[in-house]
Amino acid sequence: MNASTPIILAVDDKVENLDILTSLLEDYDVRDVTDAAGAWQILDHTPVDLILLDIMMPDIDGFELCRQLQDDERTRTIPIIFISAMSDEATISRAFEVGGKDYVTKPFRPLELLARVRTHLELKFLMARLHNLAYFDSLTGIANRRRFFDLATALFAAPGDLQAVMLDIDHFKQVNDRHGHAVGDQVLRLVADTIGDRLPPEAVFGRLGGEEFAILVPSADPDTVLAAMDGIRQAVADLIIPLEEGNLSCTISCGLASRTANTGNIDALLHDADQALYQAKGSGRNRVIFRHIQK
């Protein structure tokens, strides 16, 4: 068993049932508990991949625990296979209604249960992969355009200070033209890492496309963000990328804008930041410009 061994949580009030499951699922990392409270203790700090859930249990039964799991954002996507002695149609259909993904009757056929466990784990990992492909930039690992705008729209809807930064890598086309796209990709990754490492945890950072990035920082004043961005600009300028043909370095230009009472929506805020970026480019690059809006 290693770090990538799937973790299965088995919940059943009868210890002898748990023993059967644990020995059957010996290739997995099985955590077994006898009630809902025990299940939550595990779920609070373990990234569980699949739950095998009994229905008839004292206190909180399997249906109620399943409902709780569906209501919690942290556990909603974990597939649940009900395992129960009850085989009437009403119970089985209710199990699916409350959010179960599968239903196996006791006594179960071991190979069938193993096959269902494998299938639901495969589906779960595929869904996670699709989610990553849909929302994260595959080159840099940061939020892609779609995810950035999802998060940005939510941030804009919340009250309080909000600073926006648009930035791009100076003369990036020349990097690709002179050194090839592999080096260009290396530069993009390195610059994204350098920026991401220096941003406060509440910042939203995304790659909008090509060499263009955007950052939103909530609950911060413009001077703080201006100083932080200048530190980041310097850190990028200090990067050295060793190539066979000699060391390569690069710089970024950044435009900063604050949300004001008159900023209508997130697009308007990013547009203001983009205007500042345009000024930074026009005045020599490798700089951070804060756009003061007279409104």
Nearest distance in Å: CB 212, Mg ion: 56
Which of 65, 78 has the CB closer to Mg ion? 65
3-state secondary structure of 10: strand
From the list 7, 13, 38, 136, which residue makes contact with Mg ion (rule: CB under 5 A)? Answer: 13
Nearest distance in Å: CB 54, Mg ion: 4
Which of 13, 185 has the CB closer to Mg ion? 13
Size of the site for Mg ion (CB under 5 A): 3
**Which residue stretch of 6-14, 69-77, 159-167, 171-179 sits at the interface with Mg ion (rule: CB under 5 A)?**
6-14
Q: For 50, phi and psi rounded to 5 degrees?
A: -155, 145
If binding is defined by CB under 5 A, does position 35 make contact with Mg ion? no
- Among the listed residues 264, 229, 235, 262, the one whose alpha carbon sits nearest the alpha carbon of residue 249: 235
Structure tokens at 105: 């009757």
* Window 223 to 282, contacts with Mg ion (CB under 5 A): none
Nearest distance in Å: CB 13, Mg ion: 4
* Window 53 to 112, contacts with Mg ion (CB under 5 A): 54, 56
Helical packing angle, 266-282 and 145-157, nearest 10°:
120
Which of 12, 49 has the CB closer to Mg ion? 12
Which residue of this chain has its Cβ atom nearest to Mg ion in the complex?
Answer: 56
Residues that are catalytic: 211
- Among the listed residues 255, 254, 288, 272, the one whose alpha carbon sits nearest the alpha carbon of residue 156: 272
Cα separation, 233 vs 253, in Å, equals 7
Nearest distance in Å: CB 51, Mg ion: 15
Cα separation, 111 vs 88, in Å, equals 23
Cα separation, 210 vs 171, in Å, equals 12
**Which residue stretch of 26-34, 51-59, 180-188, 247-255 sits at the interface with Mg ion (rule: CB under 5 A)?**
51-59
Q: For 85, phi and psi rounded to 5 degrees?
A: -75, -20
Going 214 to 220 to 226 to 230, the CA torsion angle's sign is negative
Query: What is the contact surface with Mg ion in residues (CB under 5 A)?
Result: 13, 54, 56
